[in-house]
Amino acid sequence: MYKLLLSWRYLRTRYIALASIVSVTLGVATMIVVNSVMHGFTTEMRNRIHGILSDVVFESRTIDGFRDAEWHMDRISQIAGNEIAAMTPTVVVPAMLNFQVGEQWITKPVQLIGIDPETQGQVSDFGHYLQHPVNRRQLSFELRERGYDTYDHQAGPNSRPRKQMAFAGMGYRRRMAESRRFLAAMTASPGQNLPPQPGAGEDASIPPADPFAGVNLADPFSHKEAEDGAAADSGYEQHTGLVMGIALGSFPQQIGKKKDGTPEYEDVFLVLPGDDVKLTFPTAGMPPQAVSGVFTIVDFYESKMSEYDSSFVFMPIRKLQQMRGMIDPTTQVAMVNSIQIKLKPGVDGSALRDRLQAEFHPELYVVSTWQDKQSALLAAVQMETAILNILLFLIIAVAGFGILAIFFMIVVEKTRDIGILKSLGASGWGVMGIFLSYGLALGLLGSGVGMGLGLWLVAKINWIADVLGRITGRPVFDPEIYYFYKIPAIVDPFTVTWIVCGAVAIAVLASVLPAIRAARMHPVEALRYE
C-alpha cells in the first residue's frame, strides 16, 4: 500500500521526472500519428489499386493471347464458379498515343486496354473514375453532348477547377469542325498569316488565362482533316470512342495565390472529350505490324494513381480485336490476352489464384491477384512503415535512458527516506516496488498523454497541415504530389495499444536499475545521508 501511496506522492511532487517523460509522450504521439497516416495511405492506396484492378487477373504470357475467351471463362467457372462474382475479357497491348496541340504532335507511350463496356464495370470500380456522370453509371463509347464535370468529383466542388471541361462533348466537336472548315476556306484566300479571326466567336467563351485552350480551339491546322476527313465526315461524326488517362492530356497550372499564400492551381487540358487522337499498336501475328487509327476521346479516366492515369487508354475490345487481327475470319472466334475476375466477398484471392494456376499451364498463363500486381509498391510502403516504427521506437528507448538518469537522481535524493522506510520495516522488495510503480505511473502518464496528443493530432491532421503550410508559406501536404486531397489517417486500435504498452514497458525497464539500487541501500548509511 505504501508503495502506491509514495509513488503517487512522488509523481505529484517531482516535476523533474515529469520532464523526463515528455520525450516518451512525444514519441508515443509521433508514433501514433505516423502509424495512422501510413495506415491511412496504405489503406487508401490499396483501395485505389483494388478499385482499379480486379481481384484476380488471368493473363496470357503473350500479347497475342489465347483463343476463345468464352471457353476459358467456362473453364474458370467450372473450377471456382461459386466464388466468382463476375468476369470480363480484356486485351492489353502497348501502344503509342499521338495528339496534336497547336502545331506540334505529342506522343506518349500508353497501355491500351480493350474492354467490354457492358461488363468492365462489374469487375472493378472502373466507372467510378470517369468524368461524365452518366458514364459513371454505365460507360458508353459514344461521345456525350455535354455535361462533363468541371471539378474533380472525387475531391468535391472545392478542388481545382477544370473550366475547360464545360465545353467538352459533342457540341465542342461540332464547333471545332465548323471553325476548321471556316479556316480552310480562309486559307484558300490570300492572307494566310492573318490572326484566326473566325475563331473569335468561340474564343470569347474561353477563359483568357488559358493559352492552350485558345490554341486548341482555334486550331487552324487541319492535318486531321487531310488524313481522315472522309472517315469522320470532316469532324462532325465521332470516330471510335476511347477513354484516356487524365494525366496523359492535362496538367495542373498555377493561376495565382490564395489569400493565405498557398499557390492556387487549375487543371489545363491539352485535349478534351470530343478531340481526336491517333493510336498506333502492333497487330497480332509474327512479325507484328504497326497499325494505327483515329479515335475520339469520350471521357477521361482518373484513378488518382499517377502510374495508371498517365498510361491507361481504354477502347472497345471488339474494335481492338478487329484492328489487331485477333478475330478468326472463318469462325469469328476472337483472341484475348487477359480475363479480369471479380470474386465474391470474403473469398481468398490467393487460394483461388493457386487453384487456377494449377489447372492452367504456367508457361502459357499467369494468374495473379491484385496484391501480386502491386506487390512491389505495397511492400515498399510496408517496409517504410516498419523502418519508421523502429526509428521512432528508438526515440522512446532514448527517452528510457533519460528516465533512468532522472530516477537515479531521485533515488539519491530520496536516500534518507529509503533509510526511514527500511527502519520502519519496509523490505528491499518493497522499496524496489515503490520505484517500479513510480516508473509504471510515469510510463502510464507519459504514454497516456502521448496517446491523447497523438489521437488529437490525427483527428486534426489536415487542419494542422494547413496551419503549418500557412506559417511556412509552403504546403506541407501537396495534393499535386500525392493525388490525395486530404491526408488520409486511420487509427488502428491494435497498433495504438502496442505503442502505449511498449512505451510503458520502457519506462518500467528504465526504472529497474535505480529501483534495485534503492532496494540494496544499507539502512544505516541511508539514515545518515544528508
Distance in Å, CB of 417 to another protein, minimum: 5
d(CA 347, CA 122): 16
C-alpha cell at 230: 472522309
Q: Please report how close the Cβ of residue 439 comes to another protein at its closest, in angstroms.
A: 17
With respect to another protein, which residue has the nearer C-beta, 423 or 497?
423
Q: Binding mask 414-453 vs another protein (x if CB under 8 A, - otherwise)?
A: --xx-xxxxxxxxxxxx-----------------------
Determine, following the binding rule CB under 8 A, whether residue 4 of this chain makes contact with another protein: yes
CB of 50 vs another protein, minimal distance in Å? 53
Sketch the per residue contact string, 375 through 414, with another protein: x for CB under 8 A, - otherwise.
Answer: ----------------------------------------
Bridge-based pairing state of the strands 338-343 and 250-257: unpaired
Phi (first) and psi of residue 523, to 5 degrees: -60, -40
Q: Which is nearer to another protein, 359 or 525 (CB)?
A: 525
CA 350 to chain centre: 23
Cβ neighbours of residue 290 closer than 8 Å, sequence gap 6 or more: 280, 281, 282, 283
- d(C-alpha 75, C-alpha 65), whole Å: 16
117 binds another protein (CB under 8 A): no
Q: Does the footprint of another protein cover residue 6 (CB under 8 A)? A: yes
Q: How far apart are CA 424 and CA 376, in angstroms?
A: 65
Q: Which three cell numbers stand for residue 252?
A: 495542373
CB of 21 to another protein, least distance (A): 19
305 binds another protein (CB under 8 A): no
Residue 304 binds another protein (CB under 8 A): no
Taking the least distance from each CB to another protein, the nearer of 5 and 467 is: 5
User: Which CB, 6 or 24, lies closer to another protein?
Assistant: 6
The CA-atom distances, in angstroms, between 361 and each of 147, 354, 364, 372, 503 are: 48, 12, 6, 18, 52
Closest CA to 324 of 32, 84, 486, 91: 91
Q: Which three cell numbers stand for residue 313?
A: 487508354
136 binds another protein (CB under 8 A): no
Binding of residue 10 to another protein (CB under 8 A)? yes
Q: Are strands 338-343 and 84-101 parallel, antiparallel or unpaired?
A: antiparallel
User: Which one of 51, 491, 523, 529 is in contact with another protein (CB under 8 A)?
Assistant: 523
Decide: 518 and 526 in contact? Cβ < 8 Å. Answer: no
Q: What are phi and psi of 333, to 5 degrees?
A: -80, 130
Among 5, 19, 185, 231, binds another protein (CB under 8 A): 5
Say whether residue 520 binds another protein (CB under 8 A).
no
Alpha-carbon distance 344 to 87, whole Å? 11
User: Is 456 strand, coil or helix?
Assistant: helix
Q: Which is nearer to another protein, 491 or 527 (CB)?
A: 527
User: CB 399 → another protein: shortest distance, Å?
Assistant: 25
Cβ distance to another protein smaller for residue 250 or 437 = 437
From 8-16, 66-74, 110-118, 254-262, give the range in contact with another protein by CB under 8 A: 8-16
Select 180 or 517, whichever has its Cβ closest to another protein. Answer: 517
Of 318, 284, 352, 280, nearest to 55 by C-alpha is 352
Of 106 and 420, nearer to another protein (C-beta) is 420
190 contributes a contact to another protein by CB under 8 A: no
Asked if 9 touches another protein (CB under 8 A), the answer is: yes
CB crowding 200-236: b at 16 or more within 10 Å, else e: eebbeebeeebebbbbbbbbbebebbeebbeebebbe
16 binds another protein (CB under 8 A): no
Nearer to another protein, 76 or 521 (CB): 521
User: Which residue in the set 13, 78, 104, 193 belongs to the binding site for another protein (CB under 8 A)?
Assistant: 13
Q: Supply the minimum distance, in Å, between the C-beta of residue 427 and another protein.
A: 4
- From CA 142, how far away is CA 241, in angstroms rounded? 6
Closest distance to another protein from the beta carbon of 408 (Å): 19
Nearer to another protein among residue 305 and residue 411 (C-beta): 411
Cβ–Cβ under 8 Å, residues 24 and 403:
yes
Is residue 257 a contact residue for another protein (CB under 8 A)? no
Choice between 17 and 28, CB closer to another protein = 17
- In the complex, least distance from residue 400 CB atom to another protein, rounded to whole angstroms: 25
Calpha distance 355→343 (Å, rounded): 14
Cβ pair 483, 16 in contact under 8 A = no
**Which residues bind to another protein, rule: CB under 8 A?**
1-2, 4-6, 9-10, 13, 416-417, 419-430, 522-524, 527
